[in-house]
Amino acid sequence: MSRASLIAAALTLTAAPVLAADPPKVLHKTVKVGELDIFYREAGPKDAPAVLLLHGFPTSSQMFRNLIPQLADRYRVIAPDYPGFGNSSMPPRDTFGYTFDNLAAVVERFTEAVGLKRYALYVQDYGAPVGYRLASKHPERVTAIVVQNGNAYEEGLDNDFWKPIKAYWKEPASKEKREALRPFTKLDATKWQYTHGLKNPELVPPDAWITDQYFLDRPGNADIQLDLFLSYGSNPPQYPKWQEYFRKHQPPVLIAWGKNDSIFPPAGAEPYKRDLKTLEFHLLDAGHFALETNGTEIAKLMREFLAKHAK
């Protein structure tokens, strides 16, 4: 081999590695829905199949911060903050009723404002009663559903966590029952939701619960959350309607459920098997916020599932 060839070969071996393509960029946007400013995260091609990510309590679209880039090369991914959550408007309680009916109405108008005509749903915690209201009202809009610790069955509420909340439902005028729930809005409870049931809590960045707590600690927000704890009692009477939606319309459903969750344990996941024919069922070794520890696993399951069903 000539000297020039040797030099060329050496340069090839020592050249800097080619960097991988940049991940999809996530945009942070706000749209008017009536008088409300609704904040949302969006990434992916405008003409791609859409995925609507609906968050739970006590978080916001920030729970999807790592998932969105893992889907956005093939999908238009959108995650809004509900009124009173995250970076969306937080109107006073005397001008906006913090109920699940109203949250769902705002999200429905939000989808229309951003041009979502058909979409797959990702529902977690509060996202389930919001998303199932949308799906049962407009079944033609929903292409598929991903359920991550989102309840639609009485079995999912038959545990100790819900006892003080159910007591408030029975006595909604009781200040004592209401105040008994206020600790759920404090930092210890927020951190517990992220770390309970995990073999290695060190996988969860403290930024997650600190960010949520920042919004919870805004003046008046704790009472907004207590209003929603009371309004959650409006959801179980809707369960038969949502289950009928499952049976009649048979949306393809992926269950990716943190099995160590004490709020929505696997007892709430199992009944989906009764009503759905196209069901992929996975109990993950994770807690309430499974994306924090099992995000890559969930993204892989979603990509395989959505490739078959999100058109």
Judge whether 117 and 141 are in contact, CB under 8 Å: yes
Within 142-252, strands assigned E span 142-147
Give the three-state DSSP class for 120: strand
Give me Rg for the CA atoms of the chain: 21
Secondary structure class of 32 (helix, strand, coil) = strand
**DSSP string across 60-92:** -GGGGTTHHHHHTTTSEEEEEPPTTSTTS----
Number of neighbours of residue 79 by Cβ within 10 angstroms: 26
The Cα 120–Cα 134 span in angstroms is 12
Q: Give the whole-angstrom CA distance, residue 146 versus residue 309.
A: 11
- Residues with catalytic roles: 288
The residue whose two tokens read 């959550």 is 85
